[in-house]
Amino acid sequence: KQEVTQIPAALSVPEGENLVLNCSFTDSAIYNLQWFRQDPGKGLTSLLLIQSSQREQTSGRLNASLDKSSGRSTLYIAASQPGDSATYLCAVLGNTGKLIFGQGTTLQVKP
Partner 1 sequence: SQTIHQWPATLVQPVGSPLSLECTVEGTSNPNLYWYRQAAGRGLQLLFYSVGIGQISSEVPQNLSASRPQDRQFILSSKKLLLSDSGFYLCAWSAGGADIQYFGAGTRLSVL
Residue 111 interacting with partner 1 (CB under 8 A)? no
Local structure of 79: helix, strand or coil: coil
Nearest CB to partner 1, comparing residues 77 and 100:
100
Binding mask 5-24 for partner 1 (x = CB under 8 A): --------------------
Residue 104 interacting with partner 1 (CB under 8 A)? yes
Q: Which residues pair with 25 in a beta bridge?
A: 4
Q: Which residues contact 106 (CB under 8 A, 6 or more apart)?
A: 9, 10, 11, 86, 87
Identified binder of partner 1 from the candidate list 42, 55, 61, 110, rule CB under 8 A: 42
Nearest to 85 by CA among 24, 43, 21, 40: 40
Residue 58 interacting with partner 1 (CB under 8 A)? no
Residue 32 interacting with partner 1 (CB under 8 A)? yes
List strand residue ranges (DSSP E) for 1-111, in order: 4-7, 10-14, 19-25, 30-38, 44-51, 56-59, 62-67, 72-77, 86-94, 99-101, 105-110
**Nearest approach, Cβ of residue 63 and partner 1 (Å):** 18
Site residues for partner 1 per CB under 8 A: 4, 31-32, 34, 36, 41-46, 49, 89, 91, 93, 97-99, 101-104
